[in-house]
Each structure stands twice: as structure tokens, then as C-alpha cells.
């Protein structure tokens, strides 16, 4: 059965995103043969090969990747527009997928999401908590939340929080046993909970600054983790010093479970930003989320 160009493109984009004919068939609710036929018809009409196929894998060709990048957002907007026809006047519906680091959950997602769901109950929201740096377009996200220094400069950035500091902290019993470091160089004599990148597996350097001078300390310790809040939990248990976002550990600081050290060397960063590829690609649900986040968090950019 011959399908329309719009349908063929929709099928191709599903295969390219999932890198699987079978996976696309399951998602679309059709047979694998129908998916394969639809892609072949599209390739025949365009006179190009869009997918590299082997018995083990499927991946877009250079031409296929270009079609994904240029047609994908437009097709998503068209699909959203068609879906919107069935909504009641003033009612939003759709899907919103966000990539968020764990430390931003309490600061951004927890205060905003309840209000967003209450106001837009027909928008499905998926929050993927991960530290790794991702390509939000290639991996099917609408937007991400990160520190501004890790966001590519061609992305639209929307401020979500104010500036805050990174601090070195330890439990009182650890500091009683080992003493408190007084200079960045003193960290070499301490057990530090190493944070590894989820993207590369390499350890992060602890960045410290005072006046015009800065330090990048490659700390050492018997414990490493790829999750910063796990490192904080271990620090509370007296396992070593941790390096963390100050607002994310306020409860521990206020209760005395953790104590700041090297406070004069704590660097300040601009804060968390929501980012996405371009205003033209911003979906309806994302636009509403941005508006409500600004309202709830009290920021205007």
C-alpha cells in the first residue's frame, strides 16, 4: 500500500531516531515490513539512500542525517499542530522531555513541575536525570537544564536561577579526625570523594578561586562516583570531603551535618539555565514551561 510523502517522512524519522525498523514498527503500531516499504518508497521518490542497513544495525547516511536535522523539527511542529486541533480552546496538550542534572531537581523541577502539571494536565512530562553532556536534538529532548558554562553557544538559554557557589564540605567528625584544609593545596592531604564525568569517565577537577587567582585541583581519594549528590551523602557519613553546589546542600549545612571549608576560595557560577536549539523549534509545551518557570522561580532571564 502506497503511503503519502508526509507519512513516509514520519516513518523514516522514527527509524532514524530509534535506529531500528522493528522499534519504529512497534512505536507506530504497524508491521516491520510496512515500515521498510515506506522507507524504500521515500528513498525512491527522492532518488537518494537515507539509511545504511546491515543485518545488525541501521543508521542514517549523511543525506539521511541532513533530512533528520532539517525536516524533523518541522514535522514535529506539524504533528503538534494537528494534535492541537483536538484540544479544547485554551487547553495545551503534548509531550515535554527534559534532561536535568540531579542537583537541579530540587532547585528547578520540584518547584516548577507541580504548578505546570496543575495548569496543563494534558501535557506529559518526562524528566531524565543525568549528569552526562548530551546532544538534545539527536537524543530527542525538547530542552535541557545545565550550568551555562556547559551549554553550546548556539543554543537559546533561559535563566532559571540566580548565581550560586560551589563549596568544599565535610562532616564534623571527619574534620575532627583530619583537620580542615586551609589552602587549596591542602586537599592533597585529604580523602576527597572524586566525581567522575558520566560522559567520559574522567574525574572532575575541583575549581577554586580567590581574587584574581584560580586553582584546578585534581583531588584523590578512595571513593569515586558519577553522581554528585551521592558524593554529598557519603560526605555526610564522614567518608571524605565533597565538592557541591551550595544551594543543593542547604539542608545539610543548616543542620550542621556538613560544614564548609576553604570558604574564601569558593567560586561563583552564573546558575542554572534551560536551553534548547532555536526559538523556531520551541514546542508549545516548552514555551508554556518556560513561561511558568520564570513565573514560579521569579526570574525574567
Taking residues 204-215, report their average pLDDT.
Answer: 94
Q: Which CATH superfamily is domain 93-163+271-297 in?
A: Periplasmic binding protein-like II (3.40.190.10)
Q: Please compute, for residue 76, the number of CA atoms within 13 A of its CA located in the half-sphere on the CB side.
A: 23
pLDDT at 301: 43
145 versus 280: which is more confidently predicted? 145
pLDDT at 153: 85
Cα–Cα distance for residue pair 121/93, rounded to 1 Å? 8
- H/E element holding 114? helix 110-119
Q: What is the pLDDT of residues 86-144, one digit of tens each?
A: 545 556 678 899 999 988 999 999 999 999 999 999 899 999 998 888 888 888 889 99
According to CATH, what is the number of the domain 164-269?
3.40.190.10
Top mean-pLDDT range of 5-14, 53-62, 83-92, 150-159:
150-159
pLDDT at 176: 96
Q: Could you tell me the fold of the domain covering 5-84?
A: Arc Repressor Mutant, subunit A (1.10.10)
For residue 1, name the pLDDT band (cuts at 50, 70, 90).
very low
Looking at residue 65, the DSSP 8-state letter turns out to be H
Diameter of the chain measured on Cα atoms: 76
pLDDT at 56: 73
Beta strands, E only, 15-163: 51-53, 58-60, 93-100, 122-129, 143-147, 156-159
Every domain of the chain and the residues it spans: 5-84, 93-163+271-297, 164-269
Task: Say if residue 1 is exposed, middle or buried (CB neighbours under 10 Å; 0-12, 13-18, 19+).
Answer: exposed
Check for a shared fold between 93-163+271-297 and 164-269. yes
Name, in order, each residue with C-beta under 8 angstroms of 233's C-beta and a sequence gap of 6 or more.
none
Taking residues 148-175, report their average pLDDT.
Answer: 92
183 versus 151: which is more confidently predicted? 183
Segment among 25-39, 183-197, 261-275 with least mean pLDDT: 25-39
Whole-model pTM? 0.64
For residue 300, name the pLDDT band (cuts at 50, 70, 90).
very low
pLDDT at 7: 83
Residue 119 near residue 250 (C-beta atoms within 8 A): no
- 178 phi and psi angles, rounded to 5 deg: -110, -10
For residue 79, name the pLDDT band (cuts at 50, 70, 90).
low
Amino acid at each position: 500500500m502506497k503511503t503519502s510523502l508526509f507519512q513516509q517522512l514520519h516513518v523514516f524519522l522514527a527509524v532514524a531516531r530509534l535506529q531500528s525498523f522493528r522499534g519504529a514498527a512497534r512505536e507506530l503500531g504497524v508491521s516491520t515490513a510496512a515500515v521498510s516499504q515506506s522507507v524504500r518508497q521515500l528513498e525512491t521518490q527522492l532518488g537518494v539512500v537515507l539509511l545504511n542497513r546491515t543485518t545488525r544495525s541501521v543508521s542514517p547516511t549523511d543525506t539521511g542525517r541532513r533530512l533528520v536535522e532539517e525536516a524533523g523539527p518541522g514535522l514535529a511542529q506539524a504533528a503538534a499542530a494537528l494534535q492541537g486541533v483536538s484540544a479544547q480552546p485554551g487547553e495545551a496538550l503534548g509531550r515535554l522531555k527534559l534532561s536535568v542534572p540531579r542537583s537541579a531537581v530540587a532547585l528547578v523541577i520540584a518547584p516548577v513541575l507541580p504548578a505546570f502539571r496543575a495548569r496543563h494536565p494534558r501535557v506529559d512530562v518526562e524528566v531524565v536525570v543525568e549528569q552526562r553532556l548530551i546532544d538534545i536534538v539527536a537524543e530527542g529532548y525538547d530542552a535541557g537544564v545545565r550550568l551555562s558554562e556547559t551549554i553550546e553557544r548556539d543554543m537559546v538559554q533561559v535563566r532559571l536561577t540566580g548565581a550560586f557557589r560551589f563549596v568544599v564540605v565535610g562532616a564534623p567528625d571527619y574534620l575532627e579526625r583530619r583537620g580542615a584544609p586551609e589552602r587549596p593545596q591542602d586537599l592533597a592531604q585529604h580523602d576527597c570523594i572524586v566525581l567522575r564525568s558520566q560522559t567520559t569517565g574522567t574525574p572532575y577537577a575541583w575549581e577554586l578561586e580567590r581574587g584574581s587567582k584560580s586553582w584546578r585541583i585534581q583531588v584523590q581519594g578512595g571513593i569515586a562516583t558519577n553522581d554528585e549528590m551521592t558524593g554529598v551523602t557519603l560526605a555526610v557519613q564522614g567518608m571524605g570531603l565533597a565538592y557541591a553546589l551550595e544551594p543543593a546542600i542547604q539542608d545539610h549545612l543548616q543542620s550542621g551535618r556538613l560544614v564548609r571549608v576553604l570558604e574564601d576560595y569558593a567560586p561563583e557560577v552564573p546558575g542554572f539555565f534551560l536551553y534548547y536549539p532555536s526559538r523556531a523549534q520551541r514546542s508549545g509545551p516548552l514555551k508554556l514551561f518556560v513561561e511558568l518557570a520564570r513565573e514560579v522561580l521569579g526570574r525574567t532571564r
